[in-house]
Copies of this chain bind each other. A is one copy, B any other.
């Protein structure tokens, strides 16, 4: 959920005060947009800053940063240089375009793979997406020559990721509309208590084409910071973003009361008493000798037997590149994954009503998982001893800004067991062997409006990578006259669950599609479906009637690798290197291991499903193609679905023994319940990338156990 953005009363005051300037894009704070904390008239209502803010680690000085690796994101200097190039670029000389994306154009894979530390960096280039006069401009800027080397205008459907300026502009538009103001007041909401969100419009046919439109819906912040739970139901303003005008107002819910604010504020300072439970003593993951990982040159994470490049990204949040693991026998660093990231999301709501049908968010491409990943809260989002990494992003004016502390990296010990064995029945051998499991986690938390998505990439010493997505934050709720479900004629007719008086938590799904460019021991790999098939024995062959047999099927083309998971037709899914055999002749491989997940059940021809056709299967495999990064297309906003993974894959290209990309979609169905109100306990699921005949044997066989003598000596602090 989604994709929403909030214009609080502060912005309304903005209008009232004739655009008194708020300081924007400061280079040293984590806030992208908004009133500065020192602007006195901002947040006059009960503004209790989170006390957790005081615990933020110090920011790093980025202005002097240089780049060290071909995949390092653009530095502040590089961004400024690109901006200068664009400013003096002929076609933009009369009018500087709105920048929607300005980021590293990653060098060709072969160039990156050929580069070694100490080599000069390959030519640095910027990939720029900008809007000028309603047209999407796509440019390449060469930083060495300071020239625009390529420039085209996008012709198909879809627009770039919304900028904060787009949202600010859109949120202001309804305020000048008398009909809108009248409706707000008619519902008993003071304009100074208004807070609005900007759901994306989706795409629902020809009359929405040719211009950028967005929906505006509002709630009340009276008595709460959680206006998400106080929706003004049924009032939807469709706004033309570029013309800054109201296209249409739909006002259907005047009879629906605005839910009360009681018990909706989730901030610690707003609580009047502790929870009904015995207090929990302090517990902490302690590393008195410090964590075992290091981050070299700003982006290379080295830990135990792993090395990878980690960077923040405005669109996808976090990118893992060139993940390599050390061979347990030879000590050689071996390639596992060239690039892994959350490529797109799809979050359809299950309500066809006028104010709800369009809610079918694609958060990565529409709003940006990095742009919405604010500073993590130390000790609470991430444990002690975490390392925090900033993002250097670009605003619509082309200027860089810092998204501080948006990634944390930490070493984790959960009390889980790496491997173990006790000898039950073997006297003479008193064997009790167990090894603790310690892992390394890289995390972001994207707050896309109401919802919070926690993305974890967890690396294990046994070679496994677990990718986990946690959902928290607020439900997207619907106002209703109901205060008790007994007032409903038919509970099954509700689009969700009554989670508080006058508040329905609407049923919805979440799908997160990951781009997993595995390169197992090199680029040329194959995808093998290892199907477990029931075999019947022949008469007289065995007292057993049946058994399972593993049958290997190498996928020749893309159509062989479109996978819908089936409990009663199970398979393992391996990405192998057919040229790399173990001493026993098994191909070195990694398998993708799904865990709990969900599939999209929407009609394949439903516009949201057409646009998100990348969720039509749980697994896809495509040949590597530099431009196929975004499962929903490069230009997702209002797209019609011509540039999705499903479309690319329909070409049915060969995928055997070549550079391939694995795509996996992690899904959640969410039927809300009262426990999700007013803020949801985290729900999470994950999938694993797991070595399969990649190592000659258990790579952590020789790992040492924990000994008491090595563990820290701790005492409570004076205050605790």
Contact = CB atoms under 8 A, between A and B. Distances in A.
A137 interface: no
Contacts of A276: 305, 326-331, 699
B288 A380 contact: no
Interface string A419-432: 11111111111111
A242 interface: no
Instruction: Give the top 7 A-B pairs by smallest Cβ distance, nearest first.
Output: A34-B427, A43-B428, A352-B542, A277-B305, A204-B543, A380-B434, A546-B603
A713 B711 contact: no
Interface string A185-213: 00000000001000000001100000000
A357 B542 CA distance: 7
Nearest to A278: B304
A539 interface: no
Contact of A34 (B428, B492, B598, B693): B428
Contact of A292 (B281, B348, B678): B281
A267 interface: yes
Contacts of A582: 674
Interface stretch (A58-66, A109-117, A409-417, A641-649): A409-417
B419 A273 contact: no
Contacts of A383: 413, 415, 436
A160 to B, nearest CB: 18
A291 B275 CA distance: 19
B427 A350 contact: no
B266 A701 contact: yes
Interface stretch (A231-239, A442-450, A619-627): A442-450
State the oligomeric state as a number of copies: 2
B292 A279 contact: yes
A599 B715 contact: no
Nearest to A503: B584
Contacts of A327: 276
A247 interface: no
Given A278-B304, A351-B547, 12 more contacts: A8-B429, A31-B430, A267-B431, A275-B305, A283-B286, A380-B420, A380-B435, A421-B472, A463-B675, A546-B602, A673-B693, A675-B691
Residue of A354, A414, A418, A565 ringed by the most chain B CB atoms within 10 A: A414
A449 B607 CA distance: 56
A699 B448 contact: no
A677 interface: yes
Contact of A705 (B380, B548, B671, B719): B380
Interface stretch (A45-53, A85-93, A173-181, A650-658): A45-53
Q: Looking at chain A, what size class is its interface with the partner chain?
A: 35 or more
Nearest to A543: B204
Contact of A428 (B47, B376, B420, B704): B47
Interface string A590-613: 000111111101110111110000
Contacts of A384: 711
Interface stretch (A94-102, A147-155, A394-402, A549-557): A549-557
A607 B545 contact: yes
A404 to B, nearest CB: 12
Contacts of A705: 52, 268, 377, 379-380
A182 interface: no
Residue of A329, A378, A491, A546 ringed by the most chain B CB atoms within 10 A: A546
B720 A711 contact: yes
Contacts of A287: 281-284
A564 B567 contact: yes
B43 A606 contact: no
A682 B551 CA distance: 25
Residue of A379, A445, A696 ringed by the most chain B CB atoms within 10 A: A379
A675 B690 CA distance: 10
A358 interface: yes
A638 to B, nearest CB: 13
A119 interface: no
Contacts of A568: 564, 599, 601
Contacts of A496: 550
11 contacts: A281-B290, A283-B287, A289-B716, A383-B415, A383-B436, A418-B681, A492-B551, A499-B584, A673-B691, A677-B697, A680-B698
Contact of A532 (B47, B671, B691, B707): B671
Given A326-B276, A417-B454, A674-B582, A284 B422 contact: no
Contacts of A530: 671
A329 B677 CA distance: 14
A326 to B, nearest CB: 5
A319 B463 CA distance: 34
A29 B351 CA distance: 63
A483 interface: yes
A671 to B, nearest CB: 5
Contact of A692 (B501, B597, B673, B699): B673
A536 interface: yes
A430 B50 contact: yes
Given A5-B425, A671-B572, A441 B415 contact: yes
A132 interface: no
B433 A52 contact: yes
Contacts of A225: 423, 426, 429, 431
A706 interface: yes
Nearest to A705: B380
A700 interface: yes
Given A414-B412, A428-B9, A433-B268, A547 B352 contact: yes
A167 B597 CA distance: 43
A462 interface: yes
Contacts of A184: none
Contacts of A534: 601-603
Given A483-B584, A586-B674, A704 B372 contact: no
A6 interface: yes
A451 B193 CA distance: 62
A292 B37 CA distance: 39
